[in-house]
Chain A
Amino acid sequence: MGELISNNIYLILLLPLWIFLIIMLGRFVSVYVNKSVIWGLSLFSAMLGCIASLGLYKIFTPDMVFENTIPFIKINDFIINFGIHIDRLSLIFTSVLFIISFFVLLFSTTYMKNEKKQYRFYALINLFNFVTATFFFSPNLFQAYVCWELVGLVSYLLIGFEYSKSEKSLASKKVFIINRIGDTAFLAGIIMCSYLMYEYAPSKSLAGLELFDINTISTLVSVYSPHTLYLIICGLFIVAAMVKSAQFPFYSWLQDAMEAKLPVSALLHSSTLVALGVYLVIRIMPFLTLTPSILKFIAIIGVLTAFVCSLSASVQNHPKKALAYSTSAQFGLIFFALGILNIKVALILFVTHALIKSMLFLTLPDEKEKWNILKFILFAIGALSLAGLLFSGLCAKEILAFSLSLKGIFVLSALSFITSFYILRILIVIMKTNGIEKINSKKIETFSAFSLLFINILLYIYLRKTNSYHISIPYFSAILGMLFVLILNIRNWILKISCPLFYNGFYIDKFYMTIILWLYNKFAESLAKFDTKILGNYKPIIYVSKIGVNLIDFVETKIMNGVVSEITKSIKKLSEIDLKAQNGNIQRYNLYAFLIITIIITILSIAYLTIIINIKGVG
C-alpha cells in the first residue's frame, strides 16, 4: 500500500491540476462537460488526496523523508530544482487541506447550484488544491515561493469570482496587492539567503536553494555565525509569514477576503491559505532557533494579534467579519506557540482550528435567509468548541496551557474569556438578525458540516488518548465569558455594544486606504507631471535650435547673400555712371577723348623716358 502510494504520489498530486485543465479548456473546445462529471472528478481527487495523505502519514515515521527533484532552470552550474519532499509535517498539512477541501466541495455542489459559470469555481478550487499541496511538498524555498504566489493568485481569482460587482473586484485587487507585500518580503529573504550560501558555501558553486536540508544549514551556520544580515533574512521570512497568516499589522486583507463566497471563505481563508505562513515558520525553524530575539518577536506578534483581533471581533455585527478576525486571533495563538518553540502544540492548535472554523463557515446563513435549526445547532457546538469548552477546541487550549508558565496561563485565560465572549455573542447576533426556522431543506450542506464535526470529535478522542493535560484556568475563564454573554443577552445589550476603535480593526484598514493610498497617488501623479512637463518638455531644445536657425539665417541672408548683393549694387552704380555718360553730347565726347588721349600720351612718354634713362644708366 505504501509502495503504491509512493510511486504514484505524482499522479495523486497532479490530478487536481489535470481536472482544472479539463474544466477550463474543455469549454474552449466546446466539449460539453456535465456538471455532475465536474463534481464527481473534483470530489474524487480530493478524496484520493485525503486517503493518500492519511495513508502516508500512518506509514511515515517521524524522521522519514521522501525526496525527488528534477532541474527546472539550469544555466551552467546554477540549478534550481522542482520536485516533492514528503515528510510527516507536510502530510499533516495536506491531510487537513484535502479533508476540508472534500467537504467544502461537497457543500458547494448544492450551495453553488444556481450560480452561472460554476465550472470556473470548481476549476479554481482544483487548482487551489494542486498549488497548495505542491507548496506543502516543496523541497526548497524557490518552489515554495512559486506556490506561495500562485496561491495568492488563486485566492484573487476566487474572491473576484463575481467580477461584475465593483466592490468584490476591488476587494480582490486589494487582497492581491497586500499579499504581494508578503511575496516581496519572501523573495527578498530567498535572494539574500541564497547570496549568503553562495558566499560561504564550501565549493562556491551556485547550487540551488536547498534550505530544508539539515546538512546545508549546519555547514552554513558553522561558517557564518548569527549576524545582522542573518537577522534581516529571518525577519523577512517572518514578515512574509505574517502577511499570509493575517497577523498584526497585516490582518486587514482578511476582512476584504470575506467578500468571496461562503465555500471560498471556508476553504481558503479559514484553514488552508492562512496556514502557509505557519508552515513556512515551521520549516525555517532550524534557522530561527539560532536567533532567540526573532522567536521572541514571533511570540509577541502572536499574542498582540490575538488580543487585537479578538477585541475587534467582539464588536462586529457581520458574522463573516467576526469570523475573519477570529481566524487572525487563533493564528496569533499558533504563532505564539511557535514562538515558544512548541511546534507540536502549534500543529494541534492549527488542525483543530481548521476543522472548527471551516465548519463554522459552512453553517452560516446567507444575508436574508432564515437560519436552519440543524445548522444553528452545529454552529453552536462549533462555537463552544472554538471557545475551548467542548471537544477538540478544549483539548487544544488545555494542551497549550499545560506547557505554559503562570504568566502565560494568565494571558491565555484573558484570551479565552474574550474568545468565548465574541463567538457566543456572534451566535446570538445571527440568531437575532436572521431568525431560526425549523424546516430542513439542504441535506448535503448540513451533512458536510456534520462530517467536519464528526472528524472534530474523532480528533478529540485521539488527542485525549495521546496527550496528558488537565482542565485549568482558561476553561473557567471561557465559562465566565459565556456567562457574561448570557447576562448581556438577558439585558438585551448584545446589539448595543460598540466601540469604534475595535469595530474598525484598530484603524489599520482605514490607515491603509486613506493615508498610504493617498501618498501613493500623490507621488505617482507628481512623477507623471515631472515626466511630461519637465523631461518631455521640448521647449528648451526648440528654443536653442531656433536661435541656431536664426543665426544661420542671418549668416545666409546678410553675410553671404549680402556680399553678393553689395557687388551687384556697385556694378549697378558703375552702370549708372556709364549711363549718364551716354548723353549724346558730341562736345562732351570730344572733351573725354582729348582728356584721355592726353593722359595716355603723358603716361607713355613718362614710361619711355624712364626706360631710356635706365638703359643709358646701365650702359
Chain B
Amino acid sequence: MDVLVSIPFLIFLPMLASFLVMSPLFTNNEILIRRFTKSVCGFQLLYTIFLLAMFSPSNPFTDKISFWGTDWIQALGVQFVFKIDGVGMVLVLLTSFIFFIASIASKMNIRRNHKFYYSMLLLLMSAVYGIFTASDMFVFFMFWELELIPAYFLIGGDFSLEENTESKKSAVKFVLFTFLGSMILLLGILLLHYYNYATTQTFTALFDDILINGIPLSIKLLISICFLIGFGVKLPIIPLHTWLPDAHTNAPVPVSMILAGVMLKTGAYGILRFNYQIMQDVFQFIAPILAIFALINIIYTAFVAYSQTDIKRIVAYSSISNMGLILLGLCAYNKIGFNASVFHMFAHGLVTAGLFMICGIVYMRCKTRDINSLGGIAVKMPRLLGFATLIVLASVGIPAFAPFISEILTIISAMFSDLGIVLKIVSILSLPLLIISSCYMLKFLHKGFMGNEQEKFAKINDITVHEFVVLGSITAGLLIFGILPNVLIGIIG
C-alpha cells in the first residue's frame, strides 16, 4: 500500500489532464470536458482521502524526483523534493475538496470557452498542490510563479455571456501585484540561499537543511521582510490588499471560490514555512509588529465590509478579515496558535467557498449583486436561505461550526503568547470582531434575503441538485469539524 503513496502523482496528474484537455485532439463537447474535469478532481479527492488514511503526523510523506541519479540543479543544491506533513496534509485536503466543489459549481457559471477554462483550472490545481507540498525553496518558487498564469486567465477570461471588461482590468492588477511580490520573494530566497552557502559552505535549498545561525542579523531581517512582502501580497496584509476586492468580485464564481478558499492560504502557508519555521528568531522579533498588522486586517476590513453594496465585495472583505485571524495565530508563536491558524485556514476555506457559491446562486437568478435591490428572495428560495443562514452563522463564529473553534483558539493563543504585552493587547482588541463581523454578515443575510417579497423576483427557482450538493457538503464539513475538532488537530499534530 505504501507504494501507492506518491506525491508527484498527486501533483502532475492534474497537469497532465490539463494539457490533455487543452490539446486539439480533445473533444470540444462541453459536457464531456466538464465530466472529465469533475472525474479528475473527484479522483484527486479520493486519492487525498487515501493519503489521509495512510497518514500519521509523526511520519510525514516525502518524495524526491531525481533526474538520472542527480539532483535537479546539483551545483546549487536544489533538489526536486516534496514533503507532506501535518500542515500540508490539511491544506492538500482543503485544496482537493475546494477544487472538486468548484468544478461542480462551474456547471452553471461558465458559458463559453469551456476547454480553456477547465484546462486552466486543472493547471491551477496542480500548481497549488505543488506549493503545498514543495520542500525545497526553488521548487516552491517555481510552483508559486506557475499559479499566476492560470489564475490570470481564469480571472480575466471570457467565460460568461456578457462582456466583462472589469474582469480583465482586475486580472491585470492581480498579476502585476502578485508578480511584484514574488520578485521580492525571489530576492529573499536568493539572499537566503547565498548566505546559507556563505556560512555553511554547502549549497542547499531544502527547507529542512537551511541553517540561519551564522547569518548576520541585518541580513536576516532583510530576508524576513522580503518574504513578508512577497507573501503579504497573497495573504493580503493591509496595505497590499487592494487587488483582492476587484479580483474576487469580477471573477466567475468558481474562480472566486478557489481564489479565496485556497490561494489566499498559499500566502499564509508561505509565511508559515519561510518565516515561522525557517527564520525563527527573526520571526519572534517581528511578531508583535506583524500582530498589529493582523489586528488592522481583522478590524479595518470588517468595517469596510459593512458599507459595501456588492454582495461579492462583502464576502471578499470578510476573507481579508479572516486571514488577519490566521496571521494572528501565527504571530502568537506557540503550539495553540499554530494549530488554531491551520484550523482556521481549513475552516475559512470552506466558509468562503460557501459564501461565494451563495452569491453566485443569487446572481444567476436575480441578475444583480446590489444589496439594496435584492431582498425578499428567501420566500422563493427557502432552502437557499437555510444554507445561507448556516454558512453566515458559521462565518460569524457560532459554536458547533468550525470557525468558532479556530477564532477562540487564536485569541486564547495570542493571550498565552510569550512574546510580550503587545500580543495580549492585540488579543483583547480583536474581540470586537465578534460584534462587527456579525454586523456586516447579518446585514448581508437580512438585506439580501429576508424581507417582503418583491415583484421582480416572482419567477426564480430554488437551488438545483448540483448547488445542493456543493452547499450541503460545505455545511456538513463545517459541522463535523466544529463538533469534533480533535480530528483535524490530530492531523496537524
Contacts and interface: CB of A to CB of B under 8 A. Distances in A.
Interface in B402-426: 404-405, 408-409, 411-412, 415-416, 424
A180 interface: yes
A34 B46 CA distance: 39
Contact of A188 (B304, B336, B409, B431): B431
Nearest to A117: B382
A72 B489 CA distance: 11
B428 interface: yes
A524 B306 contact: yes
B439 to A, nearest CB: 6
Interface in A145-167: 145-147, 149-150, 153, 157, 160, 163-166
A165 B376 CA distance: 9
Interface string B360-393: 0000000000000000101100000100010001
A23 to B, nearest CB: 13
B318 to A, nearest CB: 14
Interface residues of B, number: 52
B242 to A, nearest CB: 4
Interface stretch (B4-12, B80-88, B188-196, B444-452): B444-452
B442 A191 contact: no
Interface string A430-448: 0000000000000000000
Contacts of B450: 160, 163-164, 166, 169
A166 B486 CA distance: 41
B434 interface: yes
B435 A75 contact: no
A206 B416 CA distance: 9
A136 B409 CA distance: 24
A58 to B, nearest CB: 33
B307 A195 contact: no
A181 B435 contact: yes
Contacts of A146: 399-400, 404
A184 B435 contact: yes
B239 A535 contact: yes
B157 to A, nearest CB: 23
Given A146-B399, A165-B452, A74 B486 contact: yes
A76 B339 CA distance: 10
A525 B307 contact: yes
Bin chain A's interface residue count: 35 or more
A198 B327 CA distance: 23
Contacts of A153: 393, 398
A176 B415 contact: no
B385 A149 contact: no
B453 interface: yes
B308 interface: yes
A187 interface: yes
Contacts of B434: 180, 183-184, 187
B304 A176 contact: no
A72 B486 contact: yes
Given A72-B485, A163-B378, A194-B412, A177 B242 contact: no
Residue picked from B393, B399, B416, B452, most chain A C-beta under 10 Å:
B399
Contacts of B449: 163
Contacts of A173: 442-443, 446
Contact of A191 (B335, B427, B485): B427
A149 B482 CA distance: 14
A523 interface: yes
B451 A164 contact: yes
Nearest to A525: B307
A540 B32 CA distance: 48
B22 interface: no
B308 A187 contact: no
Contacts of A164: 376, 378-379, 450-453
A292 interface: no
A489 interface: no
Contacts of B443: 173
Given A181-B435, A535-B242, A523 B427 contact: no
Contact of B415 (A75, A191, A521): A191
Contacts of B451: 163-166, 169
Contacts of B489: 73-75
A33 B21 CA distance: 48
B432 interface: yes
Contacts of A71: 486
A232 B111 CA distance: 58
Contact of A176 (B405, B428, B442): B442
A408 to B, nearest CB: 37
A350 to B, nearest CB: 26
Given A73-B489, A180-B435, A149 B399 contact: yes
A528 B432 CA distance: 19
Given A164-B376, A164-B378, A73 B435 contact: no
A187 B431 contact: yes
A187 B449 CA distance: 30
A160 B450 CA distance: 9
B399 A521 contact: no
A180 B245 CA distance: 27
A554 interface: no
B315 to A, nearest CB: 15
A210 B396 CA distance: 26
Contacts of A184: 431-432, 434-435
A525 to B, nearest CB: 5
A499 to B, nearest CB: 33
B106 interface: no
A531 interface: yes
Contacts of A177: 435, 438-439, 442
B374 to A, nearest CB: 13
Contacts of A176: 438, 442
A520 B339 CA distance: 34
B47 interface: no
A73 B487 CA distance: 10
Contacts of A166: 450-452
A531 B238 CA distance: 10
A500 interface: no
A524 B400 CA distance: 30
A177 B398 CA distance: 13
A536 interface: yes
Residue picked from A71, A73, A74, A520, most chain B C-beta under 10 Å:
A73
A198 B413 CA distance: 12
A169 B446 contact: yes
B207 interface: no
Contacts of A170: 446
A75 B493 CA distance: 8
A528 B435 contact: no
A512 interface: no
A592 interface: no
Contact of A73 (B376, B427, B432, B486): B486
Nearest to B434: A184
B304 A528 contact: yes
A548 to B, nearest CB: 14
A180 B389 CA distance: 17
Nearest to A162: B450
Interface string B66-96: 0000000000000000000000000000000
Nearest to B238: A535
B416 A198 contact: yes
Interface in A213-227: none
B300 interface: yes
A520 B435 CA distance: 12
Contacts of B306: 520-521, 524
Q: Sorted from nearest, which 9 A-B pairs have the closest CB atoms?
A: A169-B450, A524-B306, A536-B242, A146-B399, A524-B307, A166-B451, A163-B450, A528-B307, A525-B307
13 contacts: A73-B409, A76-B335, A145-B399, A146-B399, A153-B393, A163-B385, A165-B451, A166-B452, A170-B446, A187-B434, A191-B412, A192-B428, A524-B304
Given A184-B431, A527-B303, A528-B304, 9 more contacts: A160-B450, A163-B378, A164-B453, A177-B438, A188-B428, A525-B307, A527-B304, A531-B242, A538-B242
